[in-house]
Amino acid sequence: MLSPPVEAWALWVGLTLVSVAMVGVAAEPPRAAPADAAALARTVDGVAASDHAAVAEHPLRAAEIRVRRGRLALRRGDRTARATLRYGPVVPAFDGPLARVRRGTPPDRVFDSAAAFRAAVSAARERSAWRPAPERLTARAVSWGGVDVTLVG
């Protein structure tokens, strides 16, 4: 007299399927957290706003980076974080002669003249491609021959 109703097996199958689906959703690995572009922008702005020669490093947790005239972006997986820079000019210097200056070599040892330095800075400003992100980003404020710039790479 107190036996389960005939439809009980369908109820149990349905509950089992819902439970398995919920475990699958809960167990999904988290996606890569977006990189903190705002913190990086504060570091770069701190160097760019300085009245004196300044340098700062910032650890990165991103796969790629793009530095533009007044913005920077970090990409990791399918997520992109962007931030606006308040001070500048900021120029990407990941490789070449400007990277040597960013790492600390005086510009007069790298470039033949201030005009050559100015030309390299102008050419670098036009580059805005995504590039592999280093583990630590360095920002260095440089002044030479009437060119005041913050090199980032």
**Over the stretch 89-124, which tens digit does the pLDDT of each residue have?**
899 999 999 999 999 999 999 999 999 999 999 999
φ, ψ of residue 63 in degrees (nearest 5): -90, -35
In a domain, 89, yes or no: yes
Helix (H) or strand (E) holding 67: strand 64-67
150: confidence class by pLDDT, cuts 50, 70, 90 = very high
In a domain, 65, yes or no: yes
In this prediction, residues 59-80 reach a mean pLDDT of: 92
In a domain, 13, yes or no: no
According to the model, what pLDDT value does residue 22 have? 64
Structural domain count, the chain: 1
pTM of the predicted structure, to 2 decimals: 0.76
Residues listed for the chain: 153
CA-wise closest residue to 48 among 137, 143, 145, 123: 143
Classify residue 32 by its DSSP letter: P
According to the model, what pLDDT value does residue 89 have? 84
According to the model, what pLDDT value does residue 128 have? 77
In a domain, 47, yes or no: yes
Q: Which residues contact 68 (CB under 8 A, 6 or more apart)?
A: 128
In a domain, 120, yes or no: yes
In this prediction, residues 75-95 reach a mean pLDDT of: 92
SS3 61: coil
In a domain, 97, yes or no: yes
According to the model, what pLDDT value does residue 117 have? 97
According to the model, what pLDDT value does residue 16 have? 67
In a domain, 81, yes or no: yes
83: confidence class by pLDDT, cuts 50, 70, 90 = very high
According to the model, what pLDDT value does residue 127 have? 82
In a domain, 29, yes or no: no
Helix (H) or strand (E) holding 57: strand 55-59
According to the model, what pLDDT value does residue 51 have? 82
According to the model, what pLDDT value does residue 92 have? 95
Domain that holds residue 89: 37-152
According to the model, what pLDDT value does residue 36 have? 87
**Over the stretch 7-54, which tens digit does the pLDDT of each residue have?**
666 656 565 655 656 656 566 555 555 568 999 999 999 999 988 889
